[in-house]
Structure 1
Amino acid sequence: MVTTYAALLRGINVGGGRKVPMAELRTLLEGLGHTAVRTYLQSGQAVFTAARGDEDSLAAELTEAVEEHFGFPVDIIVRDHAYLRSVVDACPFPAERLEGRQLHATYFSAPLDPERLAGLDAEAHRPEEFRLGDRVLYLYVPDGLGRSKLAEQLARPRVTRGVIATTRNWNTVVKLVELTRA
């Protein structure tokens, strides 16, 4: 059975470092035997189909191939269409009434223990809010991510230690659902 996936590469093509040209990434994925390969934006989203493997094995394979090809490690999360759709469907915020820059999803490589968030004073950051979902954290930041003190707190090692975490704005979250639709 062929499944459509999105690969989310963390921390590439920002600030002039860790360059991963999307054309090369597409070629790399095709070289691994994947089909229907496409990329979205320059910030590290690739969509592909695979007849073998699962999210974790595909992420491990791609992580190894990217490091070998580009010469530096890149954290990668792979998710299938059903999961990406479930993230949109489970959004606890009124996404349809918000701008894409106001709502974000931080994807995690594994479930996050809610205890990691217990010490965070959510009230101190209002009107910003977050909710934890299935391997995802929804983040509402009315003034955008760049000015968010809450996002800064959520990115600290006590929250993210031992897991890969990568954030996408809501426009990208929705676009990935569209691109992975079979």
Structure 2
Amino acid sequence: MTGYAALLRAVNVGGTGKLPMVELRRMCTELGFRDVRTYIASGNVVLTADADTADVRHALESRLAEYAGRPVGVVVLTRDQMRRVLPANPFPEAPGNRTAVIFLGEPAPEDALEHARNIADEQMVLGEQEIYVLYPSGMGTSRLRIPAAENGTARNINTVAKLVGMLDELDGLDATSAAD
């Protein structure tokens, strides 16, 4: 079994894409995923599966499209992919609620940041499959637009840390299961 974090795009944000987390957990369980846990109501779920990343993403996107009647983007990352995001954070001293990681789900284009617009005081750094953004004045007032991130999904660094912790807990479940 492999541990994954699945990050849904545009769910329960600004009054759009309403999806109760109990419903998301039910969907995941019905798809055969195990150890399903959600975190806050913005479309964060950790789970284990006997499938690869692409299969988990496809299964979730298909089921969510049935539910929502429209496509719902999902970025799926393995435990190791999520774990490498925290130490790669180029803004470790900044408040976690002002630092976001935009997960792209694929390698970031080298010129991704060159096309950003409406930059005020934000700082951006390109990662492997993510873009790190520091919002000194807060995310809510920012007008920053990064075209390369339009199909991605953002989480603040506090949420990323919580999801990594939840994935680490899954490791403990795996060890317990293996001992049984």
Give the TM-score normalised by structure 2: 0.86
Inter-partner Cα distance in structure 2 for 1:116 and 1:133: 10
Matched, 1:142 2:142: no
Letter in structure 1 aligned against 2:13 = V
1:62 paired residue among 39, 51, 60: 60
> d(CA) in 1 for partners of 2:9 and 2:98?
20
Counterpart Cα distance in 1 of 2:99 and 2:16: 26
The equivalences for 1:1-182 within 5 A come to 2-51=1-50, 53-94=51-92, 97-120=93-116, 125-126=120-121, 128-149=122-143, 152-154=144-146, 156=147, 159-160=148-149, 164-181=151-168, 182=171
Structure 1 segments (4+ residues) deviating >2 Å? 14-17, 69-72, 116-122
Change (3 A) 1:121 1:62: closer
Q: SS at 1:115's partner residue?
A: coil
Unpaired segments of 5 or more residues in structure 2?
A: 172-180
- TM-score normalised to structure 1 length: 0.85
Secondary structure, counterpart of 1:179 in structure 2: helix
Separation in 2 of the partners of 1:28 and 1:116? 34
| Deviation string, structure 1 residues 70-114 (Cα, Å, up to 9, x no partner) | 3232110111111001011111112xx322221110000211212
RMSD: 1.8
Letter in 1 for 2:27: L
Conserved 8 A contact 1:26-1:37: yes
Which string of whole-angstrom CA distances, capped at 9 and with x for unpartnered residues, describes residues 128-165 of structure 1? 2110011010111111111224xx222x3xx246xx30
Retained in 1: the 8 A contact 2:102–2:149?
Answer: no
TM-superposed deviation, 1:50: 0.5
Q: Higher helix proportion, which one?
A: 1
2:10–2:16 CA contact under 8 A, matched in 1: no
Structure 1 residues not aligned, in runs of 5+: none
- Provide the rounded CA distance (Å) in 2 between the counterparts of 1:70 and 1:46: 17
